[in-house]
Structure 1
Amino acid sequence: MQHRAVTSCRPGRMNKQPTIWMLAGPNGVGKTTYAFRHIRAVAGTVRFINLDEIARGLSPMDPEAEKNTAARIALDRFDAYLGAKGEGGDFSMETTLAGLTYLRRLQHAKSLGWRIHLLYFVVATPEAALARIARRVSEGGHAVPEADARRRFARSIANVPRYVALADMWRVFDNNGGQPKVAAEGRAGCIAYRGATDGLPSPLTAILEHLPACAEA
């Protein structure tokens, strides 16, 4: 089965609901690269919450030392954007989904009339993600301890159903080749399209297989 080509998933111009774009997935799967290359065109916004970039701004020589402070700033920025939806409109954010920190905030956002679009990036194995992280470090990027990366890889996938259930639109991207390919997509806890999943981790494939099919709109 062939992968679907990546197309724009912006809401139509007549849709006046503000949208939160979540770029999610384990460490080392290409979320930030995708954001800097494509999020403005895909989502129509340059407002991007990225914990690693915040930490780097606080301490360029040792970003890891400022991770806790950066996490608080990221949450504060999320809340500020949420409270100013009539002023700034859509925004995007990056998260590993390894925890449930944003789940309650997203539930609150939905109650305020926000739409949630989830773009989930993944590679086949934790080892593939670690290799990408090592390459990033060799090019001057930030490191992630191996134990943390492995733990987040598993937890991120385990949390996918919770976030998919909230999403007005979601897509899973196979990023093994460096060019993201849509492997599956759907909305609000159901699946509308499933393509080739041989490049996805088996636990994620199992999750997708158990999602109910979306009713035709």
Structure 2
Amino acid sequence: MPAPSQQPQIILIGGPNGAGKTTFVRSFLREISCRYLSADQIAYDLCPEDVASVAVQAGRQFLLQIRKARENRESVIVESTLSGKGLARELRAFRAAGYEIRLVFISLPSVRTSSARVALRVSKGGHDVPAQDIRRRFYRTHVNFWELYRPIAHRWELFYNGHQLGHQLVARGKDRHTSVLKPIFWNTFWTILDAD
């Protein structure tokens, strides 16, 4: 955690189901010391055999925990699909409280890839996500990242995780400036956004 004199930060790791958010967070936590908050993890802790049955309760606990972190000026890493809009309100409150907002989005090339990754996770004992939720969230999570969450962040990074090379940094931005590092994956991202 940063020293008390340093600006606290909230790092939001977003992406569709199966994008590798939790894997990314684990590697990230080796580099910096922050508290990690995830509604999925809370649900698993509450009821590992049926996380879907406690999803609403886990979501409420998640919001309470991030609000408490803000009150305590604690730096946190938060994981979300970004398929909803409610977390944007929380990010604005963090920003108003003087936090640095950093957004990391992990993209996949298709709903099919997202579904396959979730199936692989389940085969290894991980949590499942209903197929209709994966489909419903996939496009929305990309649009919400770009149109809703990115403008709130002080800085953002877009990663692509659609092949065996792992998380590839595609683009980053600060304020209104964008740097594209991997144009082919940048185009893949825009193909998803334009698939209206």
**How does the TM-score come out when normalised to structure 2?**
0.89
Which one has the bigger helix percentage? 2
Alignment of 1:45 onto 2:30: no
Q: Distance in 2 between matches of 1:84 and 1:197?
A: 42
Q: Distance in 2 between matches of 1:204 and 1:170?
A: 18
Q: For 1:64-213, what aligned pairs fall within 5 Å after superposition?
A: 64-85=52-73, 89-160=74-145, 161-178=147-164, 179-198=166-185, 200-204=188-192
Determine helix, strand or coil for the equivalent of 2:28.
helix
Alignment check: 8 A CA contact 1:167 1:189 kept: no
Aligned residue pairs, count: 190
Alignment check: 8 A CA contact 1:197 1:205 kept: no
Determine helix, strand or coil for the equivalent of 1:102.
helix
Cα 1:16–1:197 shift into 2, 3 Å: farther
Query: Which residue in the other structure is 2:6 paired with?
Result: 16
Identity in percent: 30
Alignment check: 8 A CA contact 2:105 2:158 kept: yes
Q: Distance in 2 between matches of 1:67 and 1:142?
A: 12
Cα 1:168–1:54 shift into 2, 3 Å: same
| Aligned-residue CA RMSD (Å) | 2.1
State the shift of 1:188 in Å.
Answer: 2.9
State the shift of 1:16 in Å.
Answer: 1.8
State the shift of 1:158 in Å.
Answer: 1.2
**How does the TM-score come out when normalised to structure 1?**
0.81
State the shift of 1:60 in Å.
Answer: 1.6
Alignment check: 8 A CA contact 2:142 2:193 kept: no
Q: Counterpart of 1:166 in structure 2: which amino acid?
A: I
Q: Please, which runs of 5 or more residues in structure 2 have no aligned partner?
A: none
Determine helix, strand or coil for the equivalent of 2:127.
coil
Q: Distance in 2 between matches of 1:20 and 1:141?
A: 26
Determine helix, strand or coil for the equivalent of 1:21.
strand
Q: Distance in 2 between matches of 1:34 and 1:111?
A: 27
Q: Distance in 1 between matches of 2:84 and 2:62?
A: 15
Alignment check: 8 A CA contact 1:47 1:91 kept: yes
Determine helix, strand or coil for the equivalent of 1:121.
strand
Alignment check: 8 A CA contact 1:124 1:201 kept: yes
Determine helix, strand or coil for the equivalent of 1:56.
helix
State the shift of 1:189 in Å.
Answer: 4.4
Q: Distance in 2 between matches of 1:102 and 1:58?
A: 21
State the shift of 1:112 in Å.
Answer: 1.0
Q: Distance in 2 between matches of 1:165 and 1:21?
A: 14
Q: Please, which runs of 5 or more residues in structure 1 have no aligned partner?
A: 1-10, 207-217
Q: Distance in 2 between matches of 1:171 and 1:96?
A: 15
